[in-house]
Amino acid sequence: MLQTVSIKVTPTQESKLNTVDWENLPFGKVFSDHMLVMDYKDGAWQDAEIVPFGPIPMHPAMSAIHYGQSIFEGMKANKSASGDVLIFRPDMNAKRFRESSERMCMPVIPEDMFVELVRKAVEVESNWIPSREGYSLYIRPFLFATDEFIGIKPSETYKFMIFMCPVGAYYNEPVNVKIEEFYTRASEGGVGRAKTAGNYGASLFPARLGQQKGYHQLLWTDGKTHEYVEESGTMNVVFVIDGKLVTPSEDSDTILRGVTKRSVVDLAKAWGMPVEERRVTVQEIVEANRNGTLTEAFGAGTAATIAHIAKIGYRDGDLVLPAIETRTFSQKVLAHLDDLKTGKIPDTMGWMLKV
């Protein structure tokens, strides 16, 4: 049972709906009319409100900007042909948000309440869901520390917000990634498993070095030996080697537990494909590419869903992967996920939340 939350809605006086170019949406630059705000103070969550989208006042000493207690989530909503509004697995994001809060010493939003807040926000913005194929309403819940105080301790006040962006494709082409053997995204005992702001700030410089060499993203390796593949900047990584689905296991706390990757693994198993979630070495990827058993590689994440990897940069060369047209599994899983999100096929896994 979902917890019912009463939410005051203050509608905007000036909708931006008809200013949007619905045929040509960039990712993350168009914001819908409303946002949800819920404060935490005196040891309790206050009433959530949905208000017109806009700037928020900020004290210069607001602790999130100085000390980084800040976490976020990302998920998507779509509309089916019959007009149903569907959100993809928000319960998984609710769980990860709770885990991120715990790791960052922030107050927890009960998972059912998180889902209900997301549902309500999407309900209010349901006419912001694009209908063009491959487009969606991206949902960004986030929580940050708001104490006006200089000193390192967990904040006593926080702000939780949700805003939404109608979005087009994240990548318009297959991606090239570079195996990173010097910089580290996450180390054991660190915060790699949490979707916390600093992880992304820390990755920008090494990612830029990769971009200067023509790679869209890095393929991170473990911080200790750089011998094991971990994940990419905002995507988990999945390989098809010798007909088996191979992906780095999430047992190490250095890898973000992606909802998309989990769904890909669940579908592969349901379709009878062998799945290996285990440590994956860089050398085995190089070797599988050399002997022709590495037939597919892709990133899995909410923003891109499935991003085919065309090339993997390794040291001074590139591992060139087979043509996209030959990638039977990734094409099938991408089509399946798209059809599920838009209600074209029955939701046998019980993944979709109908708003």
Ligand X SMILES: *Cc1c(COP(=O)(O)O)cnc(C)c1O
Please tell me whether residue 90 binds ligand X under the rule CB under 6 A.
no
The smaller minimum CB distance to ligand X, of residues 40 and 228, is found at 228
Given candidates 119, 193, 195, 308, which one binds ligand X under the rule CB under 6 A?
Answer: 195
Rounded Cα distance between 270 and 96, Å, is 24
Which of these segments, 60-68, 107-115, 118-126, 299-307, binds ligand X (CB under 6 A)? 299-307
The least distance separating ligand X from the CB of residue 263, rounded to whole angstroms, comes to 8
Count CB atoms within 10 A of the CB of residue 169: 16
DSSP state, residue 74: -
- Longest Cα–Cα distance of the chain, Å, equals 62
Strands 8-9 and 49-52: parallel
DSSP state, residue 323: P
Please tell me whether residue 302 binds ligand X under the rule CB under 6 A.
yes
How many chain residues interact with ligand X (CB under 6 A)? 14
DSSP state, residue 231: E
Phi, psi of 37 (to 5 degrees): -130, 135
Phi, psi of 111 (to 5 degrees): -60, -40
Which residue reads 């473990």 in tokens?
Answer: 222
The smaller minimum CB distance to ligand X, of residues 22 and 200, is found at 200
The least distance separating ligand X from the CB of residue 7, rounded to whole angstroms, comes to 25
Rounded Cα distance between 190 and 192, Å, is 6
Please tell me whether residue 193 binds ligand X under the rule CB under 6 A.
no
Which of these segments, 15-23, 59-67, 80-88, 297-305, binds ligand X (CB under 6 A)? 297-305
Please tell me whether residue 256 binds ligand X under the rule CB under 6 A.
yes
Given candidates 141, 166, 258, 343, which one binds ligand X under the rule CB under 6 A?
Answer: 258
Which residue reads 């107050």 in tokens?
Answer: 107
Given candidates 141, 166, 301, 313, which one binds ligand X under the rule CB under 6 A?
Answer: 301
| Tokens of residue 128, six digits | 């912001």
**Residue 118 CA from chain centroid, whole number:** 15
The smaller minimum CB distance to ligand X, of residues 168 and 301, is found at 301
The smaller minimum CB distance to ligand X, of residues 74 and 168, is found at 74
Please tell me whether residue 180 binds ligand X under the rule CB under 6 A.
no
Which of these segments, 51-59, 157-165, 294-302, 341-349, binds ligand X (CB under 6 A)? 294-302
DSSP state, residue 59: -
* Contact positions with ligand X (CB under 6 A) in 105-124: none
The smaller minimum CB distance to ligand X, of residues 119 and 193, is found at 193
* Contact positions with ligand X (CB under 6 A) in 212-241: 231, 234-236
As a whole number of Å, the CA-based R_g of the chain is 21
Please tell me whether residue 247 binds ligand X under the rule CB under 6 A.
no
The least distance separating ligand X from the CB of residue 305, rounded to whole angstroms, comes to 9
The least distance separating ligand X from the CB of residue 136, rounded to whole angstroms, comes to 12
The smaller minimum CB distance to ligand X, of residues 34 and 185, is found at 185
The smaller minimum CB distance to ligand X, of residues 233 and 313, is found at 233
Rounded Cα distance between 283 and 229, Å, is 9
Rounded Cα distance between 120 and 90, Å, is 12
Three-state SS for 158-200 is EEEEEEEEEECCCCCCCEEEEECCCCCCCCCCCCCCCCEHHHH
Please tell me whether residue 74 binds ligand X under the rule CB under 6 A.
yes
Contacting positions for ligand X (CB under 6 A): 74, 195, 231, 234-236, 256, 258-261, 300-302
